[in-house]
Amino acid sequence: MDKIFSTRIDEAVHKRIGLLAQKLNIPKKAIIERAIMQYSDNINMTTEIDPLKQTLGAWDREESPETTIKKARQSFQSSMNRHQK
């Protein structure tokens, strides 16, 4: 299923997409799709995405898991007590 993607681009880029589409006799949509696919393929070849490295900050904490759990439970309990009154 196709999705609508709207963005502002430089006039020169718009003109270049139009010229490419006309020269290759394919729709502008195909030009943009192929360019994005090629660009993402080049990125994936040089760098692998490691989700753990990207989210390390969320897991790398000074406090112990027990302390985190205790704080979360205290916050939840104080919220529940506040709303029961």
- What are the pLDDT digits (tens) for 37-62? 999 888 766 566 677 777 766 666 78
3-state secondary structure of 48: coil
Pair 34, 2 in one domain? yes
Q: What is the domain-level CATH number for residue 13?
A: 1.10.1220
The tens digit of pLDDT for each residue in 18-33 reads: 999 999 999 999 999 9
DSSP letter at 25?
T
Q: Report how many helices (DSSP H) and strands (DSSP E) the chain contains, helices first.
A: 5, 0
Pair 35, 67 in one domain? no
Pair 44, 54 in one domain? no
Domain hosting 62: range is: 50-85
Pair 57, 42 in one domain? no
Pair 16, 37 in one domain? yes
Q: Does residue 31 contact residue 17 with C-beta atoms inside 8 Å?
A: yes
Pair 36, 13 in one domain? yes
